[in-house]
Amino acid sequence: AVAIPWRDDLAVATALHPPAPRRARWSFTALAGRLDEVAPPAPSDDAADPAGGLDEPVLDEPVPPEPVAVPFTLADVPGGTAFGTVVHRILEQVDATSPTLLDDLCAAATTELGGNLSRITPEALAAGLHDSLHAPLGGPLGTRRLVDVGPTDRLAELAFDLPLGDTRLADIGAVLADALAPDDPFVPWARAVAAEAPSLDLAGMLTGSIDLVARHVEGGVPRFWVADYKTNRLGDRYDHDEMADEMLVHHYPLQAALYLVALHRYLRWRLPGYDPGAHLVGAAYLFVRGMTPDPAAPSGRGVLWWQPGARAVLALDRLLAGERP
C-alpha cells in the first residue's frame, strides 16, 4: 500500500471568470432552421413548389410533371431527400472526364438506386446527369463545363470544421450587409438577417462538407471555386430569378458565405502567395435538373453564381475569428 500524505491546505477552487457559453456543433441545415424560427422566408408567387428543403428537398413524394420550354431528362423525376442523396453520391464518385462517362454514370446509378426510387431507371438518371455535366457553367467560367475539370483539379466532399467563436447570426448578416457591394443581389437578405436574428447565438463549431472545390488556371493564376449540387424542382425555367428566389427561401447565401470562408482558410494555409482577390472566384449553385448542354437553352440556365468578393469573405473570416462588428 502507498501512504498518501495528508494535506490540510486543500480548498474548493473558485472560478475567476464566468464560464464560457454553451458550445454547440452546428450544420448548415441546423443554422438555417434556427433562422427560420425567427424569420421564416416567404417565397415569391412564382417560386418553387413547397417540397424543397433547407439543403435538399425533404419530401419523397411524386410530383406531377410540368410542361417545359426546353426538354431535359431530370425534369420529371420525383423530388425528395433520397433522390438528392443519390445524385450527390453519384457525382462524388464519378470522374467527369472519363471517356466512358455515360457507362460510369449508369453503373453508379444502378448501385446507388438499389431497391429505392423505383420510378427512376438507372439509364434515365445517368442520361440526365450526363447532360448536367456537359452544361456550360457560365458566369466567371463561361463555356467551361464540369467535364472539363480533371481529377487533379477537384476535391469532392471537402470536409471542414469551422469555429464560430461567440458569433451571432445577426452579426453575420450585419458584416455581409456592410461588406458586400451595394448592388449585390443578396444585400437585402443580409440586412434582414441582421435585423431579425439578434438573439441567435452560434457559439461552437460548424461542421460540413463542400460538394465540390474546383480549380482552373486563368492567365497563369490558379483560381478556386466552390460548387453545391441542388436537386430542387423549380418548374420549367431555371433562370436567374427563379434560382435566386430559391437561394433566399432556403438561406443558401449563408451556406455559400460560410463555405467560402472555409475554402479561404484552406487556401491561406496551403497556397504560397495566396491572395483572395486573385485566387478565390466564388460559389456556384448547380441546380442539376435545369442544367443542359442544349444550345437552344438560355445562357446560364441551371447555374447561379455568387461572387461576394474578397472584402466580404475577409470580413466574415475576421468575425468568426473573434473580431466584433
Q: Residue 304 — φ and ψ, nearest 5°?
A: -115, 120
| pTM, two decimal places | 0.84
Torsion of CA 147, 92, 229, 208, to 10 degrees: -140
How far apart CA 58 and CA 65 sit, in angstroms, is 18
Here the cell at position 325 is 462588428
SS3 4: coil
- In the residue annotation, 228 being an active-site residue is answered as yes
How far apart CA 295 and CA 303 sit, in angstroms, is 15
How far apart CA 265 and CA 70 sit, in angstroms, is 40
Which tens digits make up the pLDDT trace of 253-266?
A: 999 999 999 999 99
**Which of 131, 228, 245, 317 is an active site residue?**
228
Name the band, by pLDDT with cuts 50, 70 and 90, for residue 202: confident
Give the mean model confidence (pLDDT) for residues 24-47: 71
Specify the range with the lowest mean pLDDT, choosing from 2-16, 53-67, 99-113: 53-67
* DSSP codes joined into one string, 175-238: HHHHHS-TT-TTHHHHHHHHHH-TT-B--EEEEEEEEEEEEEEETTEEEEEEEEEE----TTT-
